[in-house]
Amino acid sequence: MDIDLPRIRKKVGLFEYSDVGRYCKAVYEEIRLVQKSFSIADFSELLGFGNNNTMAQVHSGHRKISDKAGERIADSFKLSRVERTYFLSLVKVKHADTAEERDRLFALILELRARHSESSNDNRALEFFNSWVHSVVFEVLSMQDSQPLEEICRKIMPDVKESAVEKSLIFLESLGMVEIRKEEGSEERKYIKLKKDFSLGSAVPGLAIVRYHQEMLNLAKDSLITSPPAERDVSSVTISVNPDQIESIKREIEQLRKHLLSLSSQSQGDGKVMQVNIQLFPLSK
């Protein structure tokens, strides 16, 4: 079977994928363009799994690639050092035992992806959503016309290091969202919000959104202990629905989000930055 796998796989951009199975499927489909008789069993055998349907199960998401198998595939693809780190991190994140390990791997994946992104817009999205601090700092600046760094830090909960908040402000300034001002005769820097809302002007990369939601869900869990009942509402409902009702429910959630944004736009003066998480996900096959 004369298949130049390393050459063919280079036609498929690894850093455009956040799932190993989908990347491998794209490589397989690229091979099929060259050799139409090439079967999924042939692909499994080429990658060292034997003449079987292993890769079909990986493509469909019904089978996870083990760390050892990931190493074997990376060898077969002849990935560069950085590509290999990215690919194996995608493999490992599926097997992470703790939230801390998942978070570490996602941060590494996003960093590597941002480093290789050709789109400055993608890079901005990846960096903005890689940390919950950016969105909170941005909203804290809505409370007053201008605020010094110390006051911004004081308002954020849970506590964040001053250096992290300052780094976030510098990043937001680079996006044209925040301006740093000095009052005449004073060395104190104050920060002011220049834009009402944050918009990238295009779709946000999926990995960035996953990372952002993971961080917010962790904060939601912590709020059960750190925030008094009067300042939080954590509730859930388990329901049985028909498949054609799912889109209707998603539209209802979208309308609620828009309504909450409208209420927020009417807020003036001092207040609180609140996070509203809404989740809809399956609990049965």
Mean pLDDT of 76-105: 92
The answer to whether the pTM exceeds 0.85 is: no
CA distance 82 to 7: 17
Domains along the sequence of the chain with CATH: 5-95 (no CATH), 97-234 (1.10.10.10)
Q: Give residue 5's pLDDT.
A: 94
Interval 152-196: pLDDT, tens: 999 999 999 999 999 999 999 988 889 988 877 777 889 998 887
Q: What strands, in cross-sheet order, belong to the sheet with 178-182?
A: 147-148, 189-193, 178-182
Q: Give residue 24's pLDDT.
A: 96
State residue 244 phi and psi, 5-degree precision: -75, -5
Distances in Å between the alpha carbon of 11 and those of 6, 23, 206? 9, 11, 21
Interval 130-154: pLDDT, tens: 789 999 999 898 887 788 999 999 9
Interval 206-223: pLDDT, tens: 667 777 888 888 889 889
> Nearest to residue 111, comparing CAs of 23, 15, 24, 203?
15
Mean pLDDT of 4-10: 94
Q: Give residue 162's pLDDT.
A: 94
- Who contacts 113 (Cβ-Cβ below 8 Å, separation ≥6)? 15, 18, 86, 126, 205, 207
CA distance 204 to 188: 35
